[in-house]
Structure 1
Amino acid sequence: MHDKTAAPENQHLSHRTAWLRAAVLGANDGLISTASLVVGVISAGGDAVLAGIAGVVGGAMSMAAGEYVSVSSQADTEKADIELERQHLANNPEYEVEELAQIYRERGLTQELSHQVAEQLMAHDALAAHTRDELGITDQLQARPTLAALSSFFAFLFGAVWPLLAAWLNVTFLFPHPLITIAVGTAIMLILLGGLAAKMGGASVTHGAIRVCLWGLLAMLATALTGRLFALVVG
């Protein structure tokens, strides 16, 4: 007898890939870019809080705009492909049945069964069948520009607020080693974000955390050296 209580353990994680990638990318970008900007400005002797605020606003808007434009282009392509498929179904339905059956044969069905499946699915909803199996477009994966833009915007803000807060605390309490404070705080957040993303994606938490943290620290090191060099040259 089938045990329904065991079903959640057998659920696959690939359906999370799209939104997980966007959320992690936005948060990591906000965290790393803002922390790097703040560290670079501190190394150059500038106003880190003001630079951080400008970086957060500009970065969040840039992420939202870039994601909206990118996903809008994808959505336009999907709509054009669906409309073209609609025309093909209207003009040559027999060929479309064979085309769908060929897809099923390549997946392992026999010739007879592939035709039966294709005919039954097309009788139910021909456009949906071809959209899903020929074009690879589903409701879950269909491009949504506004949702993508808002998700990237708020994910970036979530990541960016931590180094900005660290910079503000440094100015308020005059920490003796602001670069170390910000770097350590950022590294902790990077480890948490990298580990969380890996956990939700079913990958190694340790590898995910180390990978994200390493690249974040390299980015901060590069901007710190750039800021220091700028201060030496200009000063």
Structure 2
Amino acid sequence: MKRRILLALVLLLLLALAIIAPTYAAIHRSQQPPLHTTRATAADTEQEPLIRNPLSRSGSCGVERWSVKTGTDADVGLINLQSTTQTTIAALAALPAPSNLPANNRIQPTETTVFQLHDTLIEYKLESDSDYHLVLSDGLGNTMIGEIPDPACVGSSSPLLSGIQQARSQFDARYTPTGSFQTANVPVAVTGVGFFDFLHGQTGVAPNGIELHAVLDVQFGTGGTPTPPPTTNPTPVSTGTPPI
């Protein structure tokens, strides 16, 4: 008799588990974010150190190579702001990536040159460091990034400040960047200083991390491909403090 009762209890327990388990699994799955959403979010999250600045657009400014990005580094005097070199995304992306990215010095000749690109602005966003992140495309499968810093994050001694203010005003007159990417797909002529960034999952980044940072001028409706520069790719070298 006891054996029959025990057997009946076991059968009831197994039946209950068979009913409950699928229901629990369905509830658990419904509480999980879709896999593609999780991956997309991770890919678009650009993790960089930040420093608080309540005057900036996002309330923060960047840290990594920030003096080089904004023109308060030891080598900023080496930039020839009176000369602009026409180039292409393909030419810049073909430059060898430096083995070392100094915090307060520039990689010559790339980071001491003002370049101009005639391409398409694909999309843009406001980054957590208050930069405007511009994704540029040449229509041939090559993309790279241009960055317009927030003037509030730029030191007053920077010779790039007036250009940064100009580019920021030009962009603000046409778009209102937010923390999410917005599509543009408009031809642009973008002028800015060459810069090698660390690769950290940026949207639109060139394989070697080359950017225009800081962008000093943006002209809309003037895209197209300029005459390519000579096909020479000098090896970037790190400089020291410029001689006095």
Do these two structures clear the TM 0.5 threshold for a shared fold by scoring above it?
no
Query: Relative contact order (C-alpha < 8 Å, sep 6+): which is higher?
Result: 1
**Structure with greater strand percent:** 2
Per the normalisation by structure 1, the TM-score is 0.23
